[in-house]
Chain A
Amino acid sequence: MKEGKTKREVLADRVYYVQRIVAILAAALIFFPAASPSRICAMINKNLSLFTSGISYGSLTAEMGRAFNRGWLSEGTMALLCAASVVMLLGIAAAGAGGCMSLGNLKFKKLGNLFSLGGVAGQILGLVLIYVSYQQVLGSSSVDRVGPMFPGGYIVYLILAVLLLVSSIAIQFMLPKPEADSEYEMESRFKLFLIFLPFAALCFVFSYLPLWGWRYAFFDYSAGGTLSMDNFVGFKWFTSLFQSQATKADVVRVLRNTLAMSGLGIATSWCAMAFAIFLNEIKNIRFRRFVQTFTTIPNFISWVLVYAIAFAIFSTDGFVNTAAVQLGMLAEGATGTNYLMDASHIWLKMLFWGMWKGIGWSAIIYIAGISGIDQQLYEAATVDGAGRFAKMWHVTLPGLIPTYCVMLLMSVANILSNGMDQYMVFSNKVNMDTIQVLDLYVYTLGITNGNIPLSTVFGMVKSIISVILLFAANGISKAVRGESIV
């Protein structure tokens, strides 16, 4: 195929790079509120992207009830704006489709370029309509209240549309006519890639794009505000971790809780292995199945339900207190103790609940490991005169140690992330001091108290340390066992 290309086609291939990059940019920017060309007045929420403006008229006009009632703005203007956004979105989608088709053969490319041209026409029409509604806003009866503004995103999209237009027209002239009898064809590697593309996009949007939010760590930002050079503060929030007394105290307290509870978890992680080894010593299959079946259930219920169970057993009128009354240990009618409001030994209690929920489940992998141990080892041990416990210690245990090491390294890498569900549901005013782990603290700081920059800093530092720990763990595993764990 390649040797048959004319000079013009080779040039067209170059221009295609421009066209595709522009199409991808235009498609990506529809999700960014900062690049929205539709925010033509201050009354439109600044968190609306072009995408949201197009698909949701309700959120576009969320703050305009008064403006409509008083006649500052006509609903027609906003409907026009919404329609313009839809036209823009359709145009961008068409241009995207055109870009996809450009991966095919000549006939496909021709069709794709028609899509691109149509898409660019849609985008330009949308931009014109937005401009018209902007002019209407400017003519509002109460200009200072409505606050018309010319969005920066408009210029961005204008530039993109012009680039797309120029490249599409150029390509239209450069591509030779396809042979009359040729069919739509595409190399299978590109076909597969196009099927894959939407999923890659989803992955990008939900896993990579949040990293873009790290920029909040460098600004003095409060919910609903904007980011600009005026409130750029550099590393202020990072240094405040060490300078502000209150923050420092918080950090120390939260880190102490986090490390203590993760540490206890790691220190007792061998329990699951012991659970499996001792369970293996039980001869009766039915009993063993019974134990396995029922000790795994708690793993499948949420932490909220675990709390509900704790509530049923340990609260003022729960099982423990009711039973105490019936056994005569507590006077009838007396108020029982609410064990959940007791702040002592919180770390151990959390460890207990964690084990209750997880041990049966964690043991499964070791149980499977035991059945994989070579029976000849046991026979050899018997010949050497090893008793039951000697076999457990010298054969079963060494057989499980490699699995245990992997699990241990993983939990070391996760030492800062013990999740927030468990601690959130069990927390109350009394035990907050000792139960608040990093994840819970970040949640309270960011969502409840609205300190977005500082909580972002915590998230950033935690992520970076976790990745470093993971690679360190992986390095250790490689060096010691010659196998990587990630």
Chain B
Amino acid sequence: MAKTKQEKQDLKAEKAYEKTHKPKWQLTPGNIVFNILNYAFYTIFTLSCIFPFYYLFINTISDNDLVRKGQVTLLPKGINVQNYIAMLNVSDLGNAFIVSIARTLLGTALMVAATALVGYLVTKQELWHRKFWYRFLVITMYFNAGTIPWYLNMSMLGLTNHFAAYIIPGIVAPYNIILVKTYIESIPAELEESALIDGAGFLTVFRRIIWPLSKPILATIAIFGAVGHWNSFTDSLILMQSAPSLYTLQHRLYIYLNQNSNIAQMMNAGGSGILPTMSTKVLKYTISMVTVIPILLVYPFMQRYFEKGIMLGAVKG
């Protein structure tokens, strides 16, 4: 696997760190036993985190007859991808996929843009009553009116059964604003001052200096925002009660998982018989895979940022 420059550097730094921090202990019997147990525990736990995804995957790419007979446990048999191809024809699934993708992209983009701007604004001493407005934002993290008042509010605003309900409420995210504010405060003030002296306005400074310099933190909040949007389930459940076309993928998956009748047969009866050999079980597995694959695909890119993110989260503004 090709490694990026950044990853190589990370590994190098880690090795250097290892050299100075290497735990020193003798190979006493106690230590050896402990080591064996330790490795065994982490191996088993890590496998327990990998295996379920693997199991789902091999069952969806194996021959459906063998899966039905219960012969696929550890290795795939009769590999094919027809189950995934069949998924393309399940219209409400495709629809839910589009809704989830749309809310993830749009919601994350708007949230990041707004957070960057507001995060910068609250660092400006000139902002009229800055302290008050900052507290006004931050305090909302600590109280919550409750599910029902929230629902009634959304319905009062006409946001129930409306796609905007996924996007607009998430635009102002106080926790992310704190992260960005803290980060911007660590940027040397001279950069900003020199631009101001050169006659740049507030928005120019933001666009040319603050935005590019705060990209690492913006990437971090973008990742957390995107994962949150993709995984979000309760808002679809509560707000979209009479708009099934706006259900998110997670909501669809939940509905499918809870159906006990033979969904594959039902679909065949209604459609063109595209899922001839699929059992309910395999259908559920395949939909689960479709839902989890996007997360697994972006996970390697996320990893670099989230450790940074959680550390920044520990620093309060």
Using a CB–CB distance below 8 Å, which chain A residues touch chain B? 31-33, 47-49, 51-52, 55-56, 59, 188-193, 195-196, 199-200, 202-203, 205-214, 216, 278-283, 285, 287, 290-291, 293-298, 300-305, 307-309, 311-313, 315, 317, 319, 321-323, 325-326, 332, 356, 360, 364-365, 368, 371, 375, 382, 387-389, 403, 417, 420-421, 424-425, 439, 442-443, 446-447, 452, 455-456, 458-460, 462-463, 466-467, 470, 486
Contact = CB atoms under 8 A, between A and B. Distances in A.
The bracket for how many chain B residues form the interface is 35 or more
Interface string B149-179: 1111101111000000000110110100000
Contacts of B153: 206, 209-210, 212-213
B146 A442 contact: yes
B46 A290 contact: yes
Contact of A319 (B15, B73, B127, B155): B73
Given A303-B233, A375-B21, A205 B55 contact: no
Contacts, number: 268
A86 to B, nearest CB: 15
Contacts of A213: 145, 148-150, 152-153
Given A211-B145, A308-B257, A467-B142, A190 B128 contact: yes
B158 A59 contact: yes
Nearest to A194: B128
Contacts of A467: 142-143
B190 interface: no
B202 A312 contact: no
A192 B168 CA distance: 22
B128 A189 contact: yes
A431 to B, nearest CB: 14
B158 A364 contact: no
B310 A207 contact: no
Interface in B1-46: 11, 14-15, 17-18, 20-25, 31, 34-35, 38-39, 41-42, 45-46
B146 A460 contact: yes
B268 interface: no
B254 interface: yes
Contacts of B152: 210, 213, 216, 452
B176 to A, nearest CB: 12
Interface residues of chain B: helix, strand, loop or mixed (majority): helix
B15 to A, nearest CB: 7
A52 B155 CA distance: 11
A51 B158 contact: yes
A293 B45 CA distance: 12
B145 A31 contact: no
Contact of B295 (A31, A300, A311): A300
B128 A309 contact: no
B148 A206 contact: no
Given A294-B46, A305-B291, A312-B285, A425 B254 contact: yes
A294 B303 CA distance: 10
Contacts of B18: 285
Contacts of A447: 147-148, 151, 238, 241
Given A213-B148, A388-B25, A31 B46 contact: no
B43 to A, nearest CB: 8
B261 interface: no
Nearest to B47: A294
11 contacts: A192-B126, A203-B140, A283-B22, A291-B42, A308-B288, A311-B288, A312-B55, A322-B72, A388-B25, A459-B148, A466-B144
A459 B146 contact: yes
Given A49-B157, A308-B284, A365-B310, A294 B148 contact: no
Contacts of A31: 156-157
Interface in B186-242: 202, 227, 230-234, 237-238, 241
A196 B142 contact: no
Interface stretch (B85-93, B101-109, B116-124): B116-124
B269 interface: no
B267 interface: no
A302 B11 CA distance: 30
B314 interface: yes
Contact of B284 (A47, A192, A311): A311
B121 A196 contact: yes
A364 B118 contact: no
A199 B139 CA distance: 15
A368 B14 contact: no
B253 A364 contact: no
